[in-house]
């Protein structure tokens, strides 16, 4: 590898990451004291871009560093003494020759990482060469000065890359790490071999299980690892798979997916224990007749369910007796979810409620077709159709392709905000209770800021929970209100709320965690009851544009309004839902610096059961006082006060007051007028009762306060 060489490797994570990028290593952040990637796609997000690296470590300066091996043109030899790695390494060096002097790391658990140049054309390798010695080719290595999650000790260079050359992989070692190859057998032969050597069938099962673990969303990986170990040890018992190879590959896949090594080893051991005594062998192949078009490309036999997904494919019998793959949405969904080239490329974003690309799909030959990325778009279906037409000879219809892509994405559901929040680690410094004062210049210490942050966490971790309030940031135009909300929300900020009277308002919430209502525009001209109803919704119900079915989606966002008006509330009965804060000078730099810690503390408070709403009479009274100060003056109010002060009746009907006090003739009185009058009377302390003084008892009256 040739690159500019920094004079030293710093011991500050950001500076070290920048130095590695100068050397040509592609880096990405790991959680503090963790091997778990802090980016959505793990080592697939690795880069040498200095601006992106600075942005990552600005989010959390304590992030560890991961190095993507393949794209950094590195083969890593990972020696773990806790699993017999030193003994295995000594045996291997006796058989294959000593490893050359090259770049080396002493891990935080007294292990060893040896960096060697990746030979051109090497794309696959064994996961392990024996107990405690793993091969890192399509994964990543933890780099200094990261901190080991179990020991708390730092990784350290013993031969740093800035002063030592990365050696080539010796030929004998290259031959040893190449995956096993076998001669193609006749269809009726399983190709099973024993004596500790894995069969073709067993290796395929192992590869599929490791790929399935890699594609499992956070929260389900440990359970998936246990299932994989349970299934694979049955093949070990049946003579299809070497146990040490299965153990090492599963452990490598677990660590690459973000699980801890100690936890993974225990889970694998548990799965092996439970699965023993149930030997399983490769089934005889049926020799399904091939077809020139629409048939599945030649593949290795696959194990029983859940690996044998091909059994679910539907075929069409031709006139000559041959069979071809049926052109159905179900078949395409199975191929997208399980075919090696496509597996793990699609997932379902539960916040945006859309299928999304989580890995790069296989490229189409030639130029001109942009590889899809981001959320699924209609044009992406054309790309999928073209790929399968080239490789399978089948042109799936556009609607079938859209249905298949959405169905395949369901196998990998994830929630980006939940993943973000679960990945945070609080440093123990309390900021949440006073964050509005610290970062937004609020003169008054108020519980509103803490309530709102915890409510946002609650809505992310428990979508659909009751949150019916709006944080109102008051301040001068251009002071930084919107910028502050954008910083807090990150990629999940929505700056415009649609019309709350129809589905546009609901659909504008998709993919959003924090929704700004700029100048409260979305509420202008709306009845108070409509606003209250919208804010109180726990489930958003709508029929998507061009969709056939209604969608019921638990709401996962919170709202914040911004305004430079002093009086903007018009209905006292709904004012409790508006939490006003008068802001001052904003510290946006500090807010961006401490954002992750604010959310980390809010997660901590949420897990402790801290309320995100007022409970005591004092808290309710405080909000009522704040709302009272923001109520807009109604031109009727003064006329009404004068009239009531000069008329001493104990009670009035709405019609009487509209006619006599406000000069609204009976033929012009509307329901809105009655509601407006009622709101004013309630502000003045009057209460509504049924008449008990000789009038028709079905008539409501307003009674003077005592």
**What is the three-state SS of 181-211?**
CCCCCCCCCCCCCCCCCCCHHHHHHHHHHHH
DSSP three-state, residue 631: strand
- The burial of 610, by beta-carbon neighbours within 10 Å (0-12 exposed, 13-18 middle, 19 or more buried), is given as middle
Cα–Cα distance, 468 to 537 (Å, whole number): 8
pLDDT of residue 698: 62
Report the pLDDT averaged over residues 530-553: 76
Max Cα-Cα span within the chain: 109
Q: Is the pLDDT of residue 384 over 70?
A: yes
Prior bond of 145 cis (ω within 30°): yes
- Nearest Cα neighbor of 179 from 222, 150, 138 is 138
Do residues 61 and 112 make contact, with C-beta atoms less than 8 angstroms apart?
Answer: no
Percent of the chain at pLDDT > 70 equals 83
- The burial of 244, by beta-carbon neighbours within 10 Å (0-12 exposed, 13-18 middle, 19 or more buried), is given as middle
Helices assigned H by DSSP within 215-283: 221-237, 243-256, 261-275
Residue ranges with strand state E in 615-686: 651-652
pLDDT of residue 116: 93
Do residues 639 and 662 make contact, with C-beta atoms less than 8 angstroms apart?
Answer: yes
Report the pLDDT averaged over residues 539-548: 71
Better-scored residue on pLDDT, 497 or 291 = 497
Cα–Cα distance, 433 to 435 (Å, whole number): 6
- Separation of first and last alpha carbons in the chain: 87
669 φ/ψ angles, rounded to the nearest 5 degrees: -75, 135
Cα–Cα distance, 516 to 522 (Å, whole number): 10
Better-scored residue on pLDDT, 639 or 8 = 639
| β-pair partners for 559 | 470, 515
Cα–Cα distance, 266 to 607 (Å, whole number): 27
Count Cβ atoms below 10 Å from residue 452 Cβ, excluding itself.
26
Better-scored residue on pLDDT, 550 or 69 = 69
pLDDT of residue 50: 92
| Centroid of chain to Cα 298 | 36
559-596 pLDDT per residue, tens:
998 887 766 776 655 567 888 888 889 999 999 999 99
pLDDT bucket at 161, cuts 50 / 70 / 90: confident
By residue count, the chain amounts to 706
Q: Which residues contact 473 (CB under 8 A, 6 or more apart)?
A: 440, 481, 484, 485, 560, 561, 562, 563, 581, 583
Q: Which helix (H) or strand (E) holds 416?
A: helix 416-422
pLDDT of residue 188: 26
pLDDT of residue 320: 64
pLDDT of residue 106: 93
Torsion of CA 439, 441, 444, 446, to 10 degrees: -20
Q: Could you tell me the two tokens for 514?
A: 């924090």
| Centroid of chain to Cα 459 | 14
Architecture of the structural domain at 423-630: 3-Layer(aba) Sandwich (3.40)
pLDDT of residue 75: 92
pLDDT bucket at 180, cuts 50 / 70 / 90: low
Count Cβ atoms below 10 Å from residue 575 Cβ, excluding itself.
20
Beta strands at 74-79 and 64-68: parallel, antiparallel or unpaired? unpaired
- Nearest Cα neighbor of 159 from 141, 140, 144, 139 is 144
pLDDT bucket at 196, cuts 50 / 70 / 90: very low
DSSP three-state, residue 332: helix
Cα–Cα distance, 99 to 97 (Å, whole number): 7
Q: Could you tell me the two tokens for 497?
A: 């709320």
pLDDT bucket at 143, cuts 50 / 70 / 90: very high
Does the pTM of the predicted model rise above 0.75? no
- The burial of 656, by beta-carbon neighbours within 10 Å (0-12 exposed, 13-18 middle, 19 or more buried), is given as middle
Do residues 581 and 449 make contact, with C-beta atoms less than 8 angstroms apart?
Answer: yes
pLDDT of residue 129: 85
Better-scored residue on pLDDT, 364 or 8 = 364
pLDDT of residue 48: 92
Pick the most confident of 6-20, 74-88, 243-257, 362-376: 74-88
Out of 248-252, 403-407, 595-599, pick the least confident: 248-252
DSSP character for 609?
T
Out of 17-21, 200-204, 227-231, 366-370, pick the least confident: 366-370
Q: Could you tell me the two tokens for 236?
A: 């070990």
| β-pair partners for 700 | 690
pLDDT of residue 4: 43
DSSP character for 660?
I
Report the pLDDT averaged over residues 167-180: 83
Do residues 427 and 571 make contact, with C-beta atoms less than 8 angstroms apart?
Answer: no
Percent of the chain at pLDDT > 90 equals 22
536 φ/ψ angles, rounded to the nearest 5 degrees: -85, -10
Out of 72-86, 261-275, 480-494, 508-522, pick the least confident: 261-275
DSSP character for 537?
-
Q: Is the pLDDT of residue 185 over 50?
A: no
Q: Report DSSP letters for 105-138, one per residue.
A: EE-TTS-EEEEEEPPTT-----SEEETTEEEESS
pLDDT of residue 8: 58
Q: Could you tell me the two tokens for 530?
A: 């409509």
Report the pLDDT averaged over residues 391-417: 88
Q: Could you tell me the two tokens for 207?
A: 């590869």
Report the pLDDT averaged over residues 507-513: 86
DSSP three-state, residue 473: strand
Q: Is the pLDDT of residue 416 over 80?
A: yes
Pick the most confident of 315-324, 336-345, 573-582: 336-345
- Name the one residue in this structure whose structure tokens are 């903007």: 568
25-43 pLDDT per residue, tens:
999 998 888 887 887 667 7
Do residues 91 and 133 make contact, with C-beta atoms less than 8 angstroms apart?
Answer: no
Q: Is the pLDDT of residue 444 over 80?
A: no
- Name the one residue in this structure whose structure tokens are 């980016």: 39
Q: Which residues contact 190 (CB under 8 A, 6 or more apart)?
A: 199, 201, 281, 282, 283, 284, 285, 301
Torsion of CA 630, 631, 637, 641, to 10 degrees: -70
Cα–Cα distance, 380 to 151 (Å, whole number): 46
Q: Is the pLDDT of residue 598 over 80?
A: yes
328 φ/ψ angles, rounded to the nearest 5 degrees: -125, 155
Average pLDDT, the chain: 80
144-156 pLDDT per residue, tens:
999 998 888 999 9
pLDDT of residue 504: 67
pLDDT of residue 661: 82
pLDDT of residue 595: 93
- Name the one residue in this structure whose structure tokens are 């897990």: 607
- Nearest Cα neighbor of 224 from 234, 215, 233 is 215
Cα–Cα distance, 566 to 557 (Å, whole number): 26
Q: Is the pLDDT of residue 289 over 60?
A: no
């Amino acid at each position: 590898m040739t690159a500019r060489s920094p004079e030293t490797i710093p011991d500050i994570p950001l500076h070290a990451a920048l130095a590695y990028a100068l050397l040509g290593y592609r880096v990405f952040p790991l959680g503090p004291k963790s091997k778990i990637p802090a980016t959505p796609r793990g080592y697939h997000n690795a880069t040498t871009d200095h601006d992106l690296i600075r942005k990552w470590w600005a989010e959390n300066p304590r992030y560890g560093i991961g190095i993507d091996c393949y794209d950094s043109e590195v083969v890593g030899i990972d020696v773990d003494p806790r699993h017999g790695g030193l003994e295995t390494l000594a045996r291997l060096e006796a058989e294959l020759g000593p490893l050359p002097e090259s770049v080396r790391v002493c891990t935080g658990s007294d292990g060893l990482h040896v960096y060697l140049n990746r030979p051109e054309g090497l794309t696959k390798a064994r996961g392990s060469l024996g107990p405690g010695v793993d091969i890192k080719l399509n994964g990543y290595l933890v780099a200094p000065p990261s901190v080991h999650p179990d020991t708390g000790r730092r990784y350290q260079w013993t031969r740093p890359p800035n002063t030592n050359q990365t050696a080539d992989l010796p030929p004998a070692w290259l031959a040893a790490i190449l995956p096993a190859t076998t001669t193609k057998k006749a269809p009726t032969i399983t190709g099973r071999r024993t004596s500790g050597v894995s069969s073709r069938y067993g290796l395929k099962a192992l590869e599929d299980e490791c790929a399935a673990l890699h594609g499992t969303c956070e929260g389900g990986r440990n359970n998936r690892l246990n299932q994989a170990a349970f299934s694979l040890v049955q093949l070990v018992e049946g003579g299809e798979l070497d146990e040490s190879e299965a153990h090492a590959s599963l452990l490598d896949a677990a660590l690459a997916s973000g699980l801890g090594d100690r936890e993974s080893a225990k889970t694998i051991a548990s799965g092996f224990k439970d699965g023993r005594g149930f030997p399983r062998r490769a089934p005889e192949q049926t020799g399904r007749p091939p077809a020139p078009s629409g048939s599945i490309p030649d593949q290795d036999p696959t194990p029983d369910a859940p690996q044998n997904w091909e059994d679910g494919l539907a075929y069409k019998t031709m006139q000559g007796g041959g069979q071809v793959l049926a052109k159905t949405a179900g078949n395409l969904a199975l191929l997208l979810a399980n075919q090696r080239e496509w597996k793990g490329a699609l997932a379902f974003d539960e916040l945006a409620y859309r299928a999304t690309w989580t890995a790069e799909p296989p490229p189409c030959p030639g130029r001109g077709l942009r590889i899809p990325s981001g959320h699924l778009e209609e044009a992406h279906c054309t790309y999928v159709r073209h790929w399968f037409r080239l490789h399978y000879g089948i042109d799936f219809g556009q609607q079938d392709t859209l249905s298949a892509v959405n169905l395949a994405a369901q196998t990998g559901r994830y929630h980006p905000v939940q993943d973000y929040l679960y990945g945070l680690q609080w440093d123990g410094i309390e900021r949440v209770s006073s964050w509005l004062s610290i970062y937004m210049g609020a003169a008054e210490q108020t519980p509103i800021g803490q309530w709102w942050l915890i409510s946002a966490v609650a809505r992310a971790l428990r979508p659909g929970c009751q949150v019916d309030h709006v944080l109102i940031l008051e301040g001068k135009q251009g002071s930084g209100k919107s910028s502050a909300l954008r910083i807090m929300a990150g990629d999940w900020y929505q700056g415009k709320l649609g019309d709350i009277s129809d589905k546009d308002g609901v659909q504008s919430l998709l993919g959003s965690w924090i929704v700004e209502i700029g100048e409260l525009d979305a509420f202008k001209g709306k009845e108070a009851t409509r606003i209250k109803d919208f804010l109180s919704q726990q489930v958003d119900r709508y029929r998507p544009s061009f969709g056939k079915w209604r969608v019921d989606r638990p709401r996962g966002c919170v709202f914040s309004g911004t305004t430079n008006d002093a009086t903007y509330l018009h209905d006292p009965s709904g004012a409790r839902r508006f939490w006003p804060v008068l802001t001052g000078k904003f510290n946006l730099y500090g807010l961006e610096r401490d954002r992750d810690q604010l959310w980390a503390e809010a997660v901590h408070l949420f897990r402790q059961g801290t309320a995100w709403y007022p409970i005591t009479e004092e808290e309710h009274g405080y909000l009522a006082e704040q709302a009272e100060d923001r109520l807009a003056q109604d031109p009727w109010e003064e006329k009404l006060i004068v009239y009531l002060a000069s008329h001493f009746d104990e009670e009035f009907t709405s019609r009487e007051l509209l006619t006599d006090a406000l000069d609204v003739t009976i033929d012009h009185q509307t329901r809105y007028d009655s509601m407006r009058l009622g709101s004013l009377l309630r502000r003045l302390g009057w209460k509504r009762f049924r008449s008990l003084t000789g009038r028709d008892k079905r008539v409501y009256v307003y009674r003077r306060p005592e």
